[in-house]
A and B are shown apart, each in its own frame.
Chain A
Amino acid sequence: MANIKITLRKDDVEKLKQVCKEFNNEPGELINVLHKAQGIFGYLPAEVQEIVSKELNVPVAKVYGVVTFYSFFTMKPKGRFPISICMGTACYVRGAEKILDEIKKQLNLEVGATSEDGKFSLSCLRCVGACGLAPVVLIGDRTYGRVTQEGVKEILAEYDEM
């Protein structure tokens, strides 16, 4: 495609092709393959979709259709520390929105965006199944429970040196 700019790592591309092979290059496995692909690359740039399209023999327009349909898939690179705020009912009633606003303010970042240094990205999700800890914030693979507006600064400070 004409708008392709980024460079993919050879190892990652090989991994992706291997994933397609594991799914027998079956067009019906498109969603599963995209899921794994996002695991490899962190996101699904056009180049990755082109490769998946070719390997599974699915038109690239269809691949893009699936990527844009499911909110799980993203075409924007996530930060090194993706922040997810739970907006499920329990977290919401315990003030998740205020937490979100505080994080937005502290990092000067909108939902769906990635900070310019590529460190943080911000997203919301619905219920992580830890309602007892509400409100819950996930950063990378760490989970923070009973987060307060005041506590946000402290949590983010943990990542200052990283």
Chain B
Amino acid sequence: METIKINIDNKNVEVPKGSTILQAARMNGIHIPTLCYLNLDDMNIENKPGGCRVCVVEVEGRKNLAPACATECLEGMVIKTHTTRILNARRTVVELILSDHPADCLVCAKSGNCELQTLAQDLGIRQITYKGAQSTYRMDTSPSIVRDVDKCIMCRRCEMMCNTVQTVGALSAINRGFEAVVAPAFEQDLIKSSCTYCGQCVAVCPTGALTEVDHTPQLIRDLADPTKTVVVQTAPAVRVALGEEFGMKPGTIVTGKMAAALREIGFDYVFDTDFAADLTIMEEGTELLDRLTRYLNGDKEVKLPILTSCCPAWVNFFEYYFPDMRDVPSTARSPQQMFGAIAKNYFAKKIGVDRKDLVVVSVMPCLAKKYECGRDEFKENGDPDVNYSISTRELAHLIKQSNIDFNKLPDADFDNPLGESTGASVIFGTTGGVIEAAARTAYELFTGKKLEKIDFECLRGLENIRQATVDFNGTPINIGIAHGLGSARKLLECIKKGECNLHAIEIMACPGGCIAGGGQPLHHGDASIIKARHTAIYEEDKNKPIRKSHENPYITKLYEEFLGKPCGELSHHLLHTHYFDKSKVEICIE
């Protein structure tokens, strides 16, 4: 690699050619503060509009201060990062931002986790000298995301995520100058836009401008209601991230502590979405095998590739952008909804509780799940299968409110029957996991042979779009994986043009999969956190005594006692769904 020599803060250093000043500084242990800048380098996610001017530095020979994030190092460059002039400029910039920011940190949902707050503290700002008008805008509450634009600092990270990474195009900067805000088209509410509720805008928002709808007050009321039986299900990705909220190292697995905490909080039954993930594999896997067998037998009618359908933001995405392909994805509901259907129609009867008195709560790494559980097709006479969903962050708040010392909790187990799960269900939490879980089961059902090597290494990784061929005892099965909706779009366009010969595709809306979902502890631009969670997911899988969904004894029992067979009549009614065309833009033309 070609390098160049520069001098930064009186140190002579050598850096790779093409590095920005910011990169060069970080490589050499110099921390230049940033605000709008975001870089998850290995995941191809970068925001550097050079707009906030917080990272300015002095470059010898230049009249103006230069933004470190957007200025490339040149041979022999002499850079200063903390002169009086720089510190004053930086402070002025932050004071100006604060002068147009509501000073309600004490009650802000982001308090303690806000990058603007941290920056103001780091710079030692104790008063805001600039007094002037404050821009105001109406609040917008969607089923998943709350927009409080008054707290927006126009860093444009959300816009970059929504447009460049996810290609959803729901958010854009509009108007100019003091009137400028980030908003959906025609300043409509998010609910009327193309928003999929993937929550990636929330995941990168440095302030409290974008947050999730908080269901914890409702949950606390339900837990205190003696007429209600409250059950909880926890998604696979939550257990490898929740610990971060309590100071643990990223990638710490806290499954046992989480189950113990949920019991302490007062849930009547602590169950696991992983159980429903195993159920998903039974249903989706059966559907895949059915389509595959028919295809291999020459049935021209059969639709391949089959696409996974467990990600609600992905479902929203194809309903909006690819409605003509909505017969391609699997009809299997997501694990959250399968769990809800089984809890309300099977478990409620088992314990003799009316479904209306059973409150099903889910803990999810995801914000789209909040929207998903409110969809009409997942209700029976107005009663939702899943009453509401809280994020990993909301659970952490709840644990703190309940005076639980999370770090000291002894490990506990989930309750049965809906708490038993396999390693296959755990890996649902990361990109490639669903299709690997499906492959483990489909292989054995297809070939009738025991799968010797359980780990499908070829399906793992964090590359945006991956393809691999899995050998089903002589029959090659071509598998595709995409994570991030922009990658999903690319893959879908290939399919539309008939350019790829794939049998099955897994798609997750969030880059990295659920481990990096919009409801997870904030990564603040540190990709190593996401990687640590990714590794932890596979470790949890390895530690499980059973690692194939169809070997889960409670799943077998559920089919024997209640469902009959996978993709049978009752399954069809309770565990499968249908999709809608949401693309319609009605324009009257005469």
Indicate, yes or no, whether A interacts with B.
yes
Question: A61 near B590 (CB under 8 angstroms)?
Answer: no
Instruction: Please report the C-alpha to C-alpha distance between residue A52 and residue B168 in the assembled complex, in whole angstroms.
Output: 17
Instruction: Please report the C-alpha to C-alpha distance between residue A103 and residue B174 in the assembled complex, in whole angstroms.
Output: 31
* Nearest B-chain residue to A51, judged by Cβ: B587
Which residues of B are interface residues toward A (Cβ below 8 A)? Answer: 163, 168-176, 183-188, 192-194, 585-590
Give chain B's interface secondary structure class: loop
Instruction: Please report the C-alpha to C-alpha distance between residue A47 and residue B586 in the assembled complex, in whole angstroms.
Output: 9
**Distance in Å: Cβ of A38 to nearest Cβ of chain B:** 17
Question: A4 near B172 (CB under 8 angstroms)?
Answer: no
Instruction: Please report the C-alpha to C-alpha distance between residue A11 and residue B186 in the assembled complex, in whole angstroms.
Output: 25
Question: A50 near B175 (CB under 8 angstroms)?
Answer: no
Select A9's contact among B184, B186, B194, B590, beta carbons within 8 Å.
Answer: B590
Is there a chain B Cβ closer than 8 Å to A46's Cβ? yes
Question: B172 near A62 (CB under 8 angstroms)?
Answer: yes
Is there a chain B Cβ closer than 8 Å to A132's Cβ? no
Instruction: Please report the C-alpha to C-alpha distance between residue A9 and residue B163 in the assembled complex, in whole angstroms.
Output: 31
Instruction: Please report the C-alpha to C-alpha distance between residue A58 and residue B185 in the assembled complex, in whole angstroms.
Output: 12
Question: B589 near A1 (CB under 8 angstroms)?
Answer: no
**Distance in Å: Cβ of A43 to nearest Cβ of chain B:** 14
Chain A residues with Cβ below 8 Å from B193 are 61
Is there a chain B Cβ closer than 8 Å to A68's Cβ? yes
Give chain A's interface secondary structure class: helix
Question: A4 near B589 (CB under 8 angstroms)?
Answer: no
**Distance in Å: Cβ of B189 to nearest Cβ of chain A:** 10
Question: B188 near A69 (CB under 8 angstroms)?
Answer: no
Q: List 9 A-B contacts (CB under 8 A).
A: A1-B585, A6-B588, A7-B590, A46-B186, A47-B588, A60-B194, A64-B185, A64-B186, A65-B172
Instruction: Please report the C-alpha to C-alpha distance between residue A65 and residue B589 in the assembled complex, in whole angstroms.
Output: 24
* Nearest A-chain residue to B167, judged by Cβ: A59
Instruction: Please report the C-alpha to C-alpha distance between residue A117 and residue B288 in the assembled complex, in whole angstroms.
Output: 63
Take A1-B185, A3-B186, A3-B188 as given contacts and tell me if A59 and B172 are in contact as well, using a CB distance cutoff of 8 Å: yes
* Nearest A-chain residue to B176, judged by Cβ: A69
Select A1's contact among B174, B183, B188, B588, beta carbons within 8 Å.
Answer: B188
Instruction: Please report the C-alpha to C-alpha distance between residue A15 and residue B173 in the assembled complex, in whole angstroms.
Output: 29
Question: A64 near B172 (CB under 8 angstroms)?
Answer: yes
Chain A residues with Cβ below 8 Å from B587 are 4, 8, 47, 50-51
Take A61-B193, A68-B175 as given contacts and tell me if A7 and B589 are in contact as well, using a CB distance cutoff of 8 Å: yes
**Distance in Å: Cβ of B258 to nearest Cβ of chain A:** 38
Instruction: Please report the C-alpha to C-alpha distance between residue A9 and residue B185 in the assembled complex, in whole angstroms.
Output: 23
Chain A residues with Cβ below 8 Å from B589 are 7-10, 13
Chain A residues with Cβ below 8 Å from B183 are 61
Is there a chain B Cβ closer than 8 Å to A63's Cβ? yes
Instruction: Please report the C-alpha to C-alpha distance between residue A8 and residue B589 in the assembled complex, in whole angstroms.
Output: 5
Instruction: Please report the C-alpha to C-alpha distance between residue A54 and residue B584 in the assembled complex, in whole angstroms.
Output: 12
Question: A64 near B174 (CB under 8 angstroms)?
Answer: yes
Chain B residues with Cβ below 8 Å from A25 are none
Instruction: Please report the C-alpha to C-alpha distance between residue A60 and residue B187 in the assembled complex, in whole angstroms.
Output: 11
Question: Could you say which of A6, A10, A50 has the most chain B C-beta atoms within 10 Å of its C-beta?
Answer: A50
Question: B170 near A59 (CB under 8 angstroms)?
Answer: yes
Is there a chain B Cβ closer than 8 Å to A2's Cβ? yes
Is there a chain B Cβ closer than 8 Å to A84's Cβ? no
Chain B residues with Cβ below 8 Å from A4 are 585-588
**Distance in Å: Cβ of B47 to nearest Cβ of chain A:** 16
* Nearest A-chain residue to B184, judged by Cβ: A61
Instruction: Please report the C-alpha to C-alpha distance between residue A77 and residue B354 in the assembled complex, in whole angstroms.
Output: 58
Question: A69 near B175 (CB under 8 angstroms)?
Answer: yes
Instruction: Please report the C-alpha to C-alpha distance between residue A79 and residue B183 in the assembled complex, in whole angstroms.
Output: 29
Chain B residues with Cβ below 8 Å from A47 are 587-588
**Distance in Å: Cβ of B181 to nearest Cβ of chain A:** 10
Instruction: Please report the C-alpha to C-alpha distance between residue A47 and residue B590 in the assembled complex, in whole angstroms.
Output: 13
Extra pairs beyond A4-B585, A4-B588, A61-B172 (18, CB < 8 Å): A1-B186, A1-B192, A1-B585, A4-B586, A8-B589, A10-B589, A10-B590, A47-B587, A59-B163, A59-B168, A60-B186, A60-B194, A61-B170, A62-B169, A63-B185, A68-B174, A68-B175, A68-B176
Take A1-B192, A68-B175 as given contacts and tell me if A60 and B590 are in contact as well, using a CB distance cutoff of 8 Å: no
Instruction: Please report the C-alpha to C-alpha distance between residue A26 and residue B194 in the assembled complex, in whole angstroms.
Output: 22
Chain B residues with Cβ below 8 Å from A13 are 589
Chain B residues with Cβ below 8 Å from A63 are 185
Is there a chain B Cβ closer than 8 Å to A121's Cβ? no
Is there a chain B Cβ closer than 8 Å to A49's Cβ? yes
Chain A residues with Cβ below 8 Å from B163 are 59, 62
Chain A residues with Cβ below 8 Å from B168 are 59
Question: A69 near B169 (CB under 8 angstroms)?
Answer: no
Chain B residues with Cβ below 8 Å from A65 are 172-174
**Distance in Å: Cβ of A124 to nearest Cβ of chain B:** 17
Instruction: Please report the C-alpha to C-alpha distance between residue A121 and residue B199 in the assembled complex, in whole angstroms.
Output: 43
Chain A residues with Cβ below 8 Å from B192 are 1-2
Q: Mark A63-99, 1 if CB is under 8 A from B, else 0.
A: 1110011000000000000000000000000000000
